Structure 1
Amino acid sequence: MSDVSSRDADKGLRFESRHRAVVELAALDKSDFDAVLRRILRTDASELDVERVNCWALDSDRAIRCVAGYLRGPDRFESGTVLEAATYPSYFRALADNPIILAGDARTDDRTREFTESYLVPLGITSMMDVPIWVRGQLWGVVCHEHVGPARQWSDAERDFAVTIGHIVSMAVEARERADAEQTARFSEFFMGVLSHDLRNPLGSIRTAAELLLQRDTDETRLRATERIVRNTDRMSRMIDQLLDFTRIRSGGGLPTHLEPVDLAMLAHQVVSELSTDVASRVDIEHRGNALGMFDADRMWQTISNLLINAVAHGSPAARVQVLVDGTSADRVIIEITNAGSMPGSLVPVLFDPFRRHDAAATPRKKGLGLGLFIVREIVTAHAGTIAVKPEVDRVTFRVTLPRRPPNAA
């Protein structure tokens, strides 16, 4: 009876110790993620009496990376190891399919035996208990408990404690993501303030002064120099507008739209009429049917202008750019902009990614931030439309399809 009483007393002490550990870990200030994670792993290893406890994060569906690994014997941490899904496919499938992986004999268990030669045997690991970490419904990573010594069967109490540790790690990850989001929002507000005031206002003053010089100066050399100032201030203004739009999108605010009746064919003609003479002179516009719908006129102006400038900049020199506004369908309007030239197929999947400049042989007129097509896609998406690019042997066509009345139209 004394042995039974002693075992019960030990169980009671372990339960109290683990309960106290869970309460303390859950109450930690989680503002310093790295420090909190190390505290969690060290406590976890001590309470479960395991040699190694590692926290791995998914880099993608194809790999996990060790964010922090605790070695109890030498009392030290390590990180950086990457495991590829292609090398350990059974384990990666088990992570997504199992609430917990209990491998009493990790070297023969179907889910973990892939690690035997490369990991388990060299480190003396015989048993594993791995808890997948889920954050907001997505698999974020895994906490791995690795036992060194004779094979070990994990008890229900040990399993429950490990799962609770997984929940605490999930809480820490969410706290870090919230802090990162708040920091990003603060930076976005500061960045937008700098762009909209500290940069745009002086730029406006420079352009106004240059316009006055154009009106009063008669020297040809100075006039040409002043015209370059005007062109470059306009270009810088467009870049500031693009950065402001990009910041709004990335901060989660999206692009606001003011929908009103707009004739896209008429708008296309207006856009071309206000482009520089060298660009406008190369553009032909064709329109079919009724192009009237509920659109944001300023945003659609921005879309057509960006696509036209892109077509002229990246098309064959001196070749004409074709614009088709097709309103023959009852429920949508289609805009197609075609330029002569070619586009490698490998470029299509990343064409609308931000900060990509797609012409390796960029000349000064082709330089920019690489945000134009990204913002065009976001504008089209805000109208519940689609945009696609169709590269052919000797020409490239951008096709924008817009519902006449988007779902958010009043």
Structure 2
Amino acid sequence: MNELPAGDNEAAAIARDIDAVNRIDAVPSILRLICKNTGMGFAAVARVTEHTWTACAVQDELNFGLAAGGQLDLHTTLCFESRAARAPIVIDNFGKDPVYSGHHTARIYNLGSYISVPIILPDGRYFGNLCAIDPNPAALSDARTLSMFEVFADLIAIQLATEGRNQVTEAALFNERENSSLREQFIAVLGHDLRNPLSAVSATAELLTLRKNEPDLVKIGQRLKTTTSRMARLIDDVMDFARGRLGSGIGVSIDRVDDLASALRVVVAEVREANPERVLADDIAISTPVRCDRTRVQQLLSNLLGNAMTHGAVEFPVVVKARVENGEFTLTVSNGGNAIAADALGKVFEPYWRPPTSKPGGGLGLGLYICKQIVSAHGGTLNVRSSVEDGTVFVARLPIGV
């Protein structure tokens, strides 16, 4: 998302930006909703630089003929002027507009109405525009419509910034291991800074889910809530890792917990809901109080289940078992599928380590490392075994301390 001179470098940067927009799950729904609510036949997220106008995502109900990756001559668009002014341009009727009547953009593209709102990243860089066009006049200048565009433009900007920061983080983690102290301080600052835009996305998602009379908005809100939950967990993992490496360790607040079984079942229910296509069986029988950090033990189970769902074969169930026996709380999570290679078993709890078969976008590889730290902070042990016959089994043992 850098401002680059025209040429091959800019083309490569624009291609990356198109990919970044396409990784935002909510964008297609946003564009459909814009067309539905405004009556406009074409809506797009456009990357706009000093030299180019490029469609990153489109909803084309006009057969306008422009797909993602397609480009227009920048100076034939009003996004050029919106970018220069860093302000929205809204035209209900080109023929009657006191400023844009007879404008060359309307003549070139046969437009009757137009709206374009800047997408400005949180650090102030101009990404592009969220825009919509139609050959017929449309009522676009009311406050509700403009506010909808501005909210969606802000959401896209926040998601793009988050994606960019994650890429920077991964590059720093995997390419600059020599400078570990600086890297880990950077992670801590980054994790802290990500919470502000994430809170804005979460609040907006919550508001959208309350619009019960607008199902499309509710779906977008629910999708955004899922995304923000995943990002919140990722930030928590990053912050836990940074605290552990910077010397303070993963913090635990150990107290008597009388309802640990219920707390674990809550985690199981959340994972079931997020993975309806998978079989998740639980055998949780805890009748004795346990001295532990309730939230951290829930995080331990959540991370172990997330790992099992990601790497276990879909045709095999994931099984959770929890017991208190012989003065120990034992938590076991198992899954079927390919066995972990013997030479990799000793690496699974290392930070950043991921199996060679991991899919892109699966996280930073901190989940199991944090599990190990949580168990260690409780004075316990976490082990793994893996075979074709028995699958992969993680066993955490914590002293009950009561």
Q: State the SS of the aligned residue for 2:351.
A: coil
Task: Please report how far the alpha carbon of residue 191 of structure 1 lies from its aligned counterpart in structure 2 after TM superposition.
Answer: 4.8
Task: Please report how far the alpha carbon of residue 261 of structure 1 lies from its aligned counterpart in structure 2 after TM superposition.
Answer: 1.4
The 1:206–1:374 alpha-carbon spacing in structure 2 relative to 1, beyond 3 Å, is same
Match of 2:264 among 251, 261, 268: 268
Whole-angstrom distance in 1 between the partners of 2:286 and 2:269: 21
The answer on whether the counterparts of 2:208 and 2:220 sit within 8 Å (CA) in structure 1 is no
Whole-angstrom distance in 2 between the partners of 1:378 and 1:341: 26
Amino acid at match of 2:208: L
1:322 aligns with 2:319: yes
The 1:346–1:284 alpha-carbon spacing in structure 2 relative to 1, beyond 3 Å, is same
1:332 aligns with 2:328: yes
1:349 aligns with 2:346: yes
Root mean square deviation, CA, Å: 2.6
Please give the per-residue CA displacement for 1:334-387, whole angstroms capped at 9, x wherever unaligned.
1111111122222201011101122524165xx101000000000000001000
Whole-angstrom distance in 2 between the partners of 1:288 and 1:403: 16
Whole-angstrom distance in 1 between the partners of 2:272 and 2:207: 19
Matched residue count: 220
1:283 aligns with 2:280: yes
1:403 aligns with 2:399: yes
Residue 203 of structure 2 is matched in structure 1 by 208
Aligned 1:339-378 pairs, distance under 5 A: 339-342=335-338, 343-358=340-355, 360-362=357-359, 364=361, 367-378=362-373
Whole-angstrom distance in 1 between the partners of 2:307 and 2:288: 23
1:390 aligns with 2:381: no
Whole-angstrom distance in 1 between the partners of 2:219 and 2:306: 22
Whole-angstrom distance in 2 between the partners of 1:292 and 1:323: 19
The 1:311–1:245 alpha-carbon spacing in structure 2 relative to 1, beyond 3 Å, is same
The 1:291–1:340 alpha-carbon spacing in structure 2 relative to 1, beyond 3 Å, is farther
Aligned 1:18-37 pairs, distance under 5 A: none
Please give the per-residue CA displacement for 1:95-148, whole angstroms capped at 9, x wherever unaligned.
xxxxxxxxxxxxxxxxxxxxxxxxxxxxxxxxxxxxxxxxxxxxxxxxxxxxxx
Amino acid at match of 1:335: L
Task: Please report how far the alpha carbon of residue 193 of structure 1 lies from its aligned counterpart in structure 2 after TM superposition.
Answer: 4.2
Amino acid at match of 1:270: V
Residue 26 of structure 1 is matched in structure 2 by none
The 1:359–1:316 alpha-carbon spacing in structure 2 relative to 1, beyond 3 Å, is farther
The 1:243–1:363 alpha-carbon spacing in structure 2 relative to 1, beyond 3 Å, is closer
Amino acid at match of 1:269: R
Aligned 1:2-401 pairs, distance under 5 A: 191-196=187-192, 198-216=193-211, 222-262=217-257, 263-275=259-271, 277-279=273-275, 282-288=279-285, 290-329=287-326, 331-342=327-338, 343-358=340-355, 360-362=357-359, 364=361, 367-394=362-389, 395-401=391-397
Task: Report the identity percentage.
Answer: 31
The answer on whether the counterparts of 2:209 and 2:219 sit within 8 Å (CA) in structure 1 is no
The answer on whether the counterparts of 2:260 and 2:289 sit within 8 Å (CA) in structure 1 is yes
The 1:340–1:184 alpha-carbon spacing in structure 2 relative to 1, beyond 3 Å, is closer
Any gaps of 5 or more consecutive residues in structure 1? 1-182
Whole-angstrom distance in 2 between the partners of 1:244 and 1:277: 26
Whole-angstrom distance in 1 between the partners of 2:356 and 2:265: 27
Amino acid at match of 1:338: S
Whole-angstrom distance in 1 between the partners of 2:205 and 2:394: 36
Any gaps of 5 or more consecutive residues in structure 2? 1-178
Task: Please report how far the alpha carbon of residue 320 of structure 1 lies from its aligned counterpart in structure 2 after TM superposition.
Answer: 1.7
The 1:189–1:392 alpha-carbon spacing in structure 2 relative to 1, beyond 3 Å, is closer
Whole-angstrom distance in 1 between the partners of 2:345 and 2:210: 45
The answer on whether the counterparts of 2:252 and 2:377 sit within 8 Å (CA) in structure 1 is yes
Task: Please report how far the alpha carbon of residue 254 of structure 1 lies from its aligned counterpart in structure 2 after TM superposition.
Answer: 0.7
The answer on whether the counterparts of 1:242 and 1:371 sit within 8 Å (CA) in structure 2 is yes
The answer on whether the counterparts of 2:333 and 2:395 sit within 8 Å (CA) in structure 1 is yes
Task: Please report how far the alpha carbon of residue 318 of structure 1 lies from its aligned counterpart in structure 2 after TM superposition.
Answer: 4.5
Whole-angstrom distance in 2 between the partners of 1:221 and 1:289: 43
The 1:361–1:190 alpha-carbon spacing in structure 2 relative to 1, beyond 3 Å, is closer
Please give the per-residue CA displacement for 1:188-230, whole angstroms capped at 9, x wherever unaligned.
667534422x210210111110121122165555544443322
